Amino acid sequence: MVEQLRYDGQVVVVTGAGGGLGKAYALFFASRGASVVVNDLGGSFKGEGTSNKAADVVVDEIKAAGGKAVANYDSVENGERIIDTAIKTFGRIDILLNNAGILRDVSFKNIKDQDWDLINKVHVRGSYKCAHAAWPHFRKQKFGRVINTASAAGLYGSFGQTNYSSAKLAMVGFTETLAKEGVKYNILCNVIAPMAASRMTETVMPPDVLENLKPDWVVPLVAVLVHKSNTTETGGIFEVGGGFAAKLRWQRAGGLLLKADDSYTPGAILDKWNKVVDFSDPQYPSGPNDFMTLLEESQKMGPSPKAAKLDLNGRVALVTGGGAGIGRAYCLAFARHGASVVVNDLADPDKVVAEIKKMGGKAVGVKASAEDGETVVKAAIDAFGRIDIVVNNAGILRDKAFTNMDHGLWDSVMNVHLRGTYKVTKAAWPHFLKQKYGRVLNTTSTSGIYGNFGQANYAAAKCGILGFSRALALEGFKYNIYVNTIAPNAGTAMTATIMPEEMVQAFKPDYIAPLVLALCSDKCPDPTGGLYEVGSGWCGRTRWQRAGGHGFPVDVALTPEEVMEHWREIVDFDDGRADYPEKTQDSMQKIMDNMDNRRGGSSSKAGGNQYLDAIAEAVGKEGKPCEFRYEERDAILYNLGVGAKSSELKYVFEGSDDFQVLPTFGVIPPFSTEPAFDYDAIVPNFSPMMLLHGEQYLEVRCWPLPTSGRLVSRGKLVEVVDKGGAAVVRNAITTVNAETGAHVFYNEMTVFLRGCGGFGGEAKAKDRGPATAANKPPERAPDVVVEERTGVDQAAVYRLSGDYKYVFSLSLSLSLSLSLSLSLSLSSPLSFSPFLSLH
């Protein structure tokens, strides 16, 4: 049994402690013996207004319980005042919890500079100011604990939150750097991505979910991390909430290594792209790849096979920081591949412009700071009438140990790297939207991804750029605007003095440009949202790996002692349960799955539940038979609706010798079949407007398919899964020949009902064999990639086959890339669960 964790004699500073998670922190640490500084500006969750009341109420509650606390009403931008309150009142500071935050959610096309700046001032600069003020005290007493606050929006990106996603992932790079600088002084720093009810989350989550996301589920993990008994866990990244906790780490692909010479081209990379994203032999790094070893191996290789040259004719590429170094290499590479180039540099862009023109290319220079994004982008429009590609490369270094960092050094790096990237991209965005085409390549760094001593400012800015990129990729995708991020490694003036000339040449920035051009082209198999490390003939993708973690029962109060008992599971990446989350839904899923974890048993076992009773009565009961008639004309109409061409006679001409209807026609008869159950009876709060069609499983049980006939279908309820904030309903429809009774089709349709969970049902779906199998595609390149552009009226034609959803009345224009792997057994019914990737 673990002894109760105590904090007697220690002083804890909690920012944003007037409510939500911050208040829970303050009350907990005070109850365990700590003296607490309760900081809260008292504004709204949008950062508007001030009030002393929020902090005072928490202080009064602590004192009424016999604890010690003092209020502070400063903005976190004045972090030195907050820390000064701790020193003047209690004489020391031991633990800093950077928790204060606001939201200014808005789509990127509508975001204003104020929305961007305010989020960064509170989340990023505020966390820096508080930590910087506390740092000398931590060093002097050889003890300090810091918790910074990220979020799933930062880790994975979130639509409409480019500002927030950027700020929150900046906290990861900042924390990793503080951890490296602080460890020898017993200053341990970790970052959490909490999912907890607050003034911010209550605006975007249903009440039943918020009930299971109390801040009390986050506090115990933080309590363990900041306790003096923790002497080793630092620089860690944790997801926590709803009774679930797990650690994350970076995973780097084995990647693609080619000879660093003239044969290292964009085409050479694209030809072997599957190696770039191959994680079969991964690394779990805390810093850059071993580029010296990679370079030595690269030099032993032969030239890459000749690949097709990338054609960028007609494209206009803007490169910030293009006057020298890596930026210059980008500009020259774009020009060689036919693009018109805008060379932006605060120093001298004209030399590179002259180089491009001398080789017969088109280029224009613009001497301006990246922070003046409107001027930079205007130069592209004035010179070439459009802009297609933005490479945000401009940057500066202002390295300094954190104890010696000053606010000017912090602000200058943040402004050039993070705000400059935002400003240039923001200025280009309306043009991208208008032309429904854009490519953005942003630049992070291994210092940002993994942290680096003496670069707290640079690491925060560079990791913030990655968070910005991931959110922007989500917003741009449907407009054919793709966003990727690279962490480049190239030689410097220093490395040139200690390496042989051949290796110096192989470290040239020229060997970063090929990946940049590949990502900015129309040919990349993974078009958007990626993070890639690159240099010296090597490139590879980097992603998150999450430990299997531990889920605690949600019907029992969680304590730090219980967390310590299960610490090994929370941080264990090697027990076979680790996964690779890539979006906010992946983060939330683990938490939602834990909501039915109860020490007293699943709530679904409780009796007297009207929804469970209705489900039990409905499951397996067949509905009434529903007839579906179709003729050859209907077969042709369906084929046309899913993309058949007039030249494909077997699909559009009934007189063709091999006239047929496509096998996916099997999904149509169920749409005229009445459900065998009442949605209102089996789930709470049902509304058709909250229904999303999810998975569709189809078996073709008759072959060849008749091109006309009379069919009868019957439906039945298969199962209902309670996901906490939503419900998943699976129903099956069997379709037979009306004349013979022979089976023709079998469908299982899954619908996702938002806001309809929390009724005490089973939390996990049953294994139903092929119908629920993951159907993981082979880990290799697709056998064939087919790109088709649908007609703008195709959806309107398709719905006439019987799928009368109102959304299909909209005109659609999609570019479809299909990577399809089917494994069929002719001795059993044909089953289809293909993987489609809509690009």
Catalytic residue set: 164, 168, 458
Helices and strands of the chain, counted as H and E runs: 29, 27
Nearest 10 degrees: CA dihedral of 192, 198, 200, 206? 110
Scan for tokens 């007839």, then name that residue: 627
Q: Which residues contact 656 (CB under 8 A, 6 or more apart)?
A: 649, 650
Phi, psi of 560 (to 5 degrees): -60, -35
Phi, psi of 834 (to 5 degrees): -70, 160
Strand boundaries in 52-186, DSSP class E = 68-72, 95-97, 144-149
| Nearest C-alpha neighbor of 743 from the set 647, 669, 818, 836 | 669
| Nearest C-alpha neighbor of 151 from the set 444, 410, 471 | 471
SS3 category, 394: coil
Cβ neighbour number for residue 430 with a 10 Å cutoff: 11
SS3 category, 138: helix
CA dist 500 → 67, 295, 296, 325 (Å):
66, 12, 11, 20
| Nearest C-alpha neighbor of 220 from the set 241, 190, 199, 193 | 241
CB 131 within 8 A of CB 457: no
SS3 for 328-339 is HHHHHHHHHCCC
Q: CA–CA separation, 474 vs 166, rounded Å?
A: 13
Looking only at Cα atoms, what is the longest distance across the chain? 93
What one-letter code names the amino acid at 262?
D
Q: CA–CA separation, 316 vs 377, rounded Å?
A: 11
Q: CA–CA separation, 296 vs 273, rounded Å?
A: 22
Phi, psi of 539 (to 5 degrees): -150, 145
Cβ neighbour number for residue 710 with a 10 Å cutoff: 12
CB 488 within 8 A of CB 534: yes
Q: CA–CA separation, 628 vs 497, rounded Å?
A: 79
Checking DSSP bridges between strand 743-754 and strand 726-737, what pairing results, if any? antiparallel
CA end-to-end distance (rounded Å), the chain:
54
Cβ neighbour number for residue 182 with a 10 Å cutoff: 23
Residue 275, both tokens: 């190696």
